[in-house]
Structure 1
């Protein structure tokens, strides 16, 4: 299958220190792209950059912090002269019955999952303008379509991401900027806290869960489509997962 050549294009990947973000960075560099790796963990980012070589660079940032995000995108613009792909991957999630949940966790979830997407997207748009095939791609969740018990706050944050992208797509489409969502089900990552020990692994094992590399392949597949093709939403679940 012949897809678009991605050589020498530039991406910013948030949450790049592990899981889906690290897998995405590896996949994009394998396509010949330049990738700015960002997350809060400098040591993990630097180790990944060393693995990936000269096409990878590091700018640590907490996506919930607007000043740090501004520095991240200023770095990307100065180093590469613009941006072709923003991959909003950073996020958090925790499990608890809502009545037992802690308001500090509500805030932390929305700061990372919603305001983090807002902050990064706001800074990225000026760098994406005028670049053929430019794309904003974000990780949402099947829990952003169907509420999941004990994940009420997380589900609410992902519903917000879905709505934001639906509106943003309509704002940016005439400029040629594509806006796309990847909405995974069960994936083997270090996502999630508040679960009983071993609970997530058992569930993932039972479902033959997706790997981080599966999501990375979807990202590359969507981004490598011709510039006039926008895979607006990609729902993906393990075959054995019949509901969120």
Structure 2
């Protein structure tokens, strides 16, 4: 089957102010898409829009706030009339033993990693209906399949994301809306909320971490498939980790 042309497609990218979201924005614009960049750090979004030009729009949004999410998708409806891709990328993690963790940190992770996905996905569905090749794609993690000491609450949110998408895929399939999950290993991003840059660098060098661009390529690959083709789950790992 022929890959779909992404020219003129409308995409909402959450967590677009850095890392995977920023890389995805650049790559989608290169493919001719129009991107709506959403994140809390509006000043960084504005700088990215300066770089990307008329194909990009910046909207400040905390995905854990349902009112802000409603405003985001209402703005998309008013400007574009519909939506072709929701990329749920916003997320964060707090490291440490669960026994010593704080409920406020649980909430922060659950709001960003799970509620953000739920709020944005529900708001996007009416805009995705009737659009050939429409897709909801979300970043989970290998930590959504395997528990990692020190990341218990983060793991819980990512396990939930995987389960949610498994059910949502079955609900939205009859509408022609595709639902895909990207599950990367370690990635060079600002994701570790309370982990020093030095510690992140050491860990990611040890495991041959992916780049944000690697994950963005996986997104575009899945989205560009023919509208009748669904790549359900993408496990993204460096070749060195799977070579004999």
TMscore range, shorter length: over 0.9
Gap change, CA 1:97 and 1:196, over 3 Å in 2: farther
CA contact (8 A) 2:2 2:226 kept: no
Q: Distance in 1 between matches of 2:41 and 2:197?
A: 24
Q: Alpha-carbon deviation of 1:241?
A: 4.5
> What secondary structure is seen at the aligned counterpart in 2 of 1:96?
coil
> What secondary structure is seen at the aligned counterpart in 1 of 2:54?
coil
Gap change, CA 1:211 and 1:165, over 3 Å in 2: same
Alignment TM-score, normalising by the size of structure 1? 0.96
1:178 is matched with which residue? 178
> What secondary structure is seen at the aligned counterpart in 2 of 1:205?
helix
Q: Which runs of 5+ in 1 are unaligned?
A: none
> What secondary structure is seen at the aligned counterpart in 1 of 2:119?
helix
2:16 is matched with which residue? 16
Counterpart check, 1:43 vs 2:43: yes
Q: Which runs of 5+ in 2 are unaligned?
A: none
Q: Distance in 2 between matches of 1:199 and 1:59?
A: 32
Q: Distance in 2 between matches of 1:239 and 1:150?
A: 26
Output one character per residue of 1:190-237: Cα deviation in whole Å (capped at 9) or x when no partner: 110333562211111122211000011110000000001110000112
> What secondary structure is seen at the aligned counterpart in 2 of 1:153?
helix
2:220 is matched with which residue? 220
2:57 is matched with which residue? 57
Q: Alpha-carbon deviation of 1:238?
A: 2.4
2:4 is matched with which residue? 4
Q: Alpha-carbon deviation of 1:92?
A: 1.1
Q: Alpha-carbon deviation of 1:118?
A: 0.3
2:152 is matched with which residue? 152
Task: Say how many residue pairs are matched.
Answer: 242
> What secondary structure is seen at the aligned counterpart in 2 of 1:59?
strand
Q: Distance in 2 between matches of 1:162 and 1:219?
A: 16
CA contact (8 A) 2:165 2:181 kept: yes
> What secondary structure is seen at the aligned counterpart in 1 of 2:86?
strand
Gap change, CA 1:131 and 1:170, over 3 Å in 2: same
CA contact (8 A) 1:14 1:38 kept: yes
Output one character per residue of 1:71-108: Cα deviation in whole Å (capped at 9) or x when no partner: 10011111111000000000110110110111110011
Q: Distance in 2 between matches of 1:197 and 1:4?
A: 39
> What secondary structure is seen at the aligned counterpart in 2 of 1:58?
strand
CA contact (8 A) 1:186 1:238 kept: no
CA contact (8 A) 1:89 1:138 kept: yes
* Aligned residue runs from structure 1 range 126-165, under 5 A: 126-165=126-165
1:116 is matched with which residue? 116
* RMSD after superposition: 1.3
2:71 is matched with which residue? 71
> What secondary structure is seen at the aligned counterpart in 2 of 1:53?
helix
